[in-house]
Amino acid sequence: MAASSVKHNKQSKKSVGCPVEFTLEAIGGRWKVLIIHHLLEGTKRFGELTRLLGGISARTLTRQLRELEASGIIDRKVHQQVPPKLEYSLTTIGRKLEPVLLAMHDWAEESLKSSRRSKK
Amino acid sequence: MAASSVKHNKQSKKSVGCPVEFTLEAIGGRWKVLIIHHLLEGTKRFGELTRLLGGISARTLTRQLRELEASGIIDRKVHQQVPPKLEYSLTTIGRKLEPVLLAMHDWAEESLKSSRRSKK
DNA sequence: CGGAATCCCGTTTGATACTG
DNA sequence: CAGTATCAAACGGGATTCCG
C-alpha cells in the first residue's frame, strides 16, 4: 500500500447531513446533557461541576466543556486572579436546549411506562 | 457509588442516572436518528435503508437496527420466503420520538441562525 | 484552582469476505 | 436479499502526572 493517501479531513469526525444529527452531536457526549442540566440552574465553577457530576475526570470535564463552548452552548468566563476562578454558564442558545431535554425526558418516562406494561 | 450491584448486562455499558440520558442512549448511535427519520415515513426493508442511508455497512446497519429493536423503538417482521424479505417499522413508542426529533431539529436551526449573527 | 500532556482501555464503526 | 464473521482503525473517556 505504498503512498496510500489517507486524507485527514477536518470534518473527518462525522459528516452531518441533517439538523437533527447536528444537535445530537452537540449534546451527544457522555456528560453533556448532565452539564447542561446543572447549568440550567445557574452559573457554576469548574470544581462545582466536578462535584455535581460525581466521578468525572478533570480531563474529560475540560473536553466536554470546550466542546460545548465550541458549539456555542456555554460561556466560559475567566477571572484573572489567584486562586484562578472560572465560571461556566449557558448562552442564550444554550438555554434553548431546555425543550429538547424536556422532550427527551418525557419520552423516557413513556418508554419506561410502556415497557412495564406486559410486553413479553 | 450507591448500588454496587452492577449487572453485567450487554446493553448497559453506561450507567444511566437520569431519563434524559436514557433517551440519549436509545437514539445516540451514529445512524439511529436517521433510521428513525426514514421509518417515520413508512415501513422500510433492509436494502432500502442501506440505500437511503448512503454509506452504512451491512454489519453496522444490522447492529443499529437490533439496538433500536432492543429499545422497543422498532419492529422487525420476517417474511419467510425466497428471496428473504424483512420489514422494519416504528413501534408505538418509537413514533413518539417524533417530538424529540422535532425539538432537536428546531434547536439546530436556531443555533445556525444565531451563529450567523454573531461570528461569521 | 483549573487545567494540559501523556498513556491506556473499551466501545463503535467500517472494510471485506462469506452464507442461508 | 439480508444477514454473519473477522480483523483493524477511530474515537471517547478514565487515571495519572505536571504546570501557571
Whether A47 is in a domain gets the answer yes
Largest pairwise CA distance in chain B: 58
Residues 6+ apart with CB under 8 A from B95: B40
Q: How far apart are CA A61 and CA A77, in angstroms?
A: 16
Residues 6+ apart with CB under 8 A from B43: B87, B88, B89
Domain that holds residue B87: 18-119
Place of cell 448486562: B9
A68 Cβ nearer than 7 Å to chain D strand:
no
Q: pTM to 2 decimals?
A: 0.85
B95 Cβ nearer than 7 Å to chain D strand:
no
pLDDT surpassing 50 at residue B8 = no
Structural domains counted in chain B? 1
Nearest C-alpha in A relative to B71 = A111
Q: How far apart are CA B109 and CA B101, in angstroms?
A: 12
Whether B60 is in a domain gets the answer yes
Q: How far apart are CA B2 and CA B20, in angstroms?
A: 20
Specify the higher pLDDT residue, B9 or A79. Answer: A79
The answer to whether the Cβ–Cβ distance between B34 and A21 falls below 8 Å is: yes
pLDDT surpassing 60 at residue B71 = yes
Q: Of all residues in chain B, what percent carry a pLDDT higher than 70? A: 82
Whether B37 is in a domain gets the answer yes
The answer to whether the Cβ–Cβ distance between B72 and A17 falls below 8 Å is: no
The answer to whether residues A36 and A97 touch, using CB atoms and an 8 Å cutoff, is: yes
Place of cell 461570528: B119
Whether B12 is in a domain gets the answer no
Whether B11 is in a domain gets the answer no
Predicted pLDDT at A55: 83
Q: How far apart are CA B94 and CA B37, in angstroms?
A: 10
* Residues of B with Cβ-Cβ distance to A93 under 8 angstroms: 107, 110-111, 114
Q: How far apart are CA B100 and CA B26, in angstroms?
A: 12
Name the packing angle between helices A98-116 and A32-39 (round to 10°): 120
pLDDT in tens, A79-97: 988 889 999 999 999 999 9
Predicted pLDDT at B2: 35
Place of cell 447531513: A17
The answer to whether the Cβ–Cβ distance between A96 and B115 falls below 8 Å is: no
Predicted pLDDT at A14: 56
Q: What is the CATH number of the domain that holds B53?
A: 1.10.10.10
Whether B32 is in a domain gets the answer yes
Whether A9 is in a domain gets the answer no
Rounded mean pLDDT, B32-38: 96
* Residues of A with Cβ-Cβ distance to B110 under 8 angstroms: 93, 96
Whether B1 is in a domain gets the answer no
Which residues make up the interface with nucleic strand C when CB must lie under 7 A?
A 45-47, 58-59, 62, 65-66, 76, 83-86; B 13, 29-31, 55-60, 63-64, 83-84
Residues 6+ apart with CB under 8 A from A102: B103
pLDDT surpassing 50 at residue A22 = yes
Interface of A with B in 30-69 (CB under 8 A): 30, 33-34, 37, 55
The answer to whether the Cβ–Cβ distance between A33 and B24 falls below 8 Å is: yes
